[in-house]
Amino acid sequence: MLKQLLFLFWLAFSAITLAEPRATGDLGLIIERESGSALIVNTTEHKQLARIENLGDTSHASVVFSRDQRYAYLFARDGGLSKIDLLQDRLVKRIVQAGNSIGGAISQDGRIVAVSNYTPGGVKLFSADTLEPIADIPAEYGASQRSKVIGLADAPGQRFIFSLFDAGEIWLADVSDHQKPSLEKFKNIGKQPYDGLITPEGRYYVAGLFGEPGMSVLDLWHTEAGAKHILPNYIKEDEKLPVFKMPHLEGWAMAGDYVFLPAIGKHEVLVIDSRTWQLVKAIPVLGQPVFVRARPDARQVWLNFAFPDNHQLQIIDVKDLAVSNTLEPGKGVLHLEFSPRGEQVWVALRDDNQVVVYDSYHLKELARIPAKKPNGIFFSARAHQIGL
C-alpha cells in the first residue's frame, strides 16, 4: 500500500515537472471537412498536436482566436459555434446558434464573438467566455423580410460590419454597450453583395457584388459620405464564364497600397489601387481564382483555383504585377495560410489528405502533414489582426 502510494506520488510529481508548458504563438487549426474535426498544429515543428472532434458540419468553416490565443472559435456551416482550448486539446463548448451560418468575427477587445447567419438572416452576439447569447441583430429590411448576412468583420472601435445579400445594404454595429448594439445602415450599396473584407488597418470595408458589376467601398473615417460604387465597368456580362466556385470570404489580399482580388467567372486577378479605388491591372492567371493571399512582406501574392484547375497554385510577383511561378502541390488545393512573418506557407490538399508546408522564399517543401480532407488552415497570429 505504501509502495503503491509512493509510486502514485512519484507519478503525479513527474507529471508536474515533466509536462512541457505550451506557448500559443505558433499554433494553428486545420479543418477536416468531412469528419467534423480539426487538428491543432505547431508551425515551428510542423507537427500535429491533437485532433478535436464533434465540431458539426465543417464542410465550410472559419475560425477566429481569443486575444490571448488560448481559444479558437470555429463557425460551422450548420450554425454551430465551437470553442476549442488550444492548451488543453479539448472542445470546451459547442452550441448550435442558427440553422445555416457562414462566418464570424471577434470584437476588438476579445469579449464578444459575432456570427453571421443565412437562416434566420442576421448576426448574433455571444460572450467569448461562456458562449452565452448577448444580443441579436436580425437583418430585417423592406416589409419584414430577412436577408442573408455575409462579409462579417470586426472593425476598430469595438464595432462589427457586414452586408445583407438580399437587401443590398451594409450595416455597421457598435457593440460598446454589449447588450444594446447601435446600428448604422448604408442602403442601396449595390445588388447582392456576396462577400466583404476590411482592409488590414480597419479603415475601408469593401463588398463584392454578385448582382451587378463592380464593388462597394465604405470609408469608415467618412461614413457620412456613404458607400461608393467602384469598377462599375470592369466586366461585361457576356464575358463571364460559368462560375464553378464563388470566390471566398478572405479571398482578397492587400499588398502595400494594392488590393488583389479574384475576378468572378474570369481567369484574372484584379489589382486595385486603394488610394483611388481604380483598376490598375487585370493579371491573367491559369483558372478561376478562389483564395488570393498576400505574403506578409507584400512582395508576393499566392492564389488557388476552382475546379478543374484545383491542383495548382500560382504566385504573382507584386513588383511586376505578373505571375512568376506555378506550382502543383497536389490534388484539391482548397486553402492556404502564411506564417505571420511569411517564411512558411501551408497549403491544404483535400484529395491527398494532407497539408504541405513550403518555404515561401525558396519554394522548397518543408513537410507534409496528414489530415483528413483538409479545407481550411488558420494560425493563431490572426488573434492580433484587425479583420481576421
- Whether the Cβ atoms of residue 198 and residue 387 lie closer than 8 Å to each other: yes
For the record, the C-alpha cell of 83 comes out as 470553442
Shortest Å, Cβ 212 to a copy of itself: 29
> What DSSP string runs through 269-311?
EEEEETTTTEEEEEEE-SS-EEEEEE-TTSSEEEEEE-TTSTT
Closest CB to a copy of itself among residues 139, 255: 255
- State which residue, 117 or 339, has the beta carbon closest to a copy of itself: 339
Q: Report the nearest approach of a copy of itself to the CB of residue 4 (Å).
A: 10
CA pair distance 58, 376, nearest whole angstrom: 9
Least distance between a copy of itself and beta carbon 18 (Å): 11
Cβ neighbours of residue 56 under 8 Å, at least 6 residues apart?
36, 76, 77, 78, 80, 82, 94, 96
CB of 76 vs a copy of itself, minimal distance in Å: 23
Residue number, 15 or 183, with CB nearest to a copy of itself: 15
CB of 197 to a copy of itself, least distance (A): 15
Give me the least distance between CB of 88 and a copy of itself, in Å please. 7
Nearer to a copy of itself, 28 or 332 (CB): 28
**Residue among 230, 333, 319 nearest 286 (CA):** 333
Residues at the interface with a copy of itself (CB under 8 A): 1-2, 5-6, 8-9, 12-13, 15-16, 19, 21-26, 42-44, 65-70, 86-88, 108-110, 156-158, 201-203, 221, 255-257, 275, 296-299, 319, 339-343, 361, 380-381, 383-386
The bridge status of strand 145-146 relative to strand 140-141 is: antiparallel
207-211 contacts at long range (C-beta below 8 A, 24 or more positions apart): 207/151, 207/163, 207/170, 208/247, 208/252, 208/261, 208/264, 210/246, 210/264, 211/168
* Shortest CB 22 distance to a copy of itself, Å: 7
Neighbour count for residue 169 (Cβ, 10 Å)? 22
DSSP code of 76?
E
Which of 143/221 has CB closer to a copy of itself? Answer: 221
CB 149 within 8 A of CB 116: yes
Closer by beta carbon to a copy of itself, 13 or else 307: 13
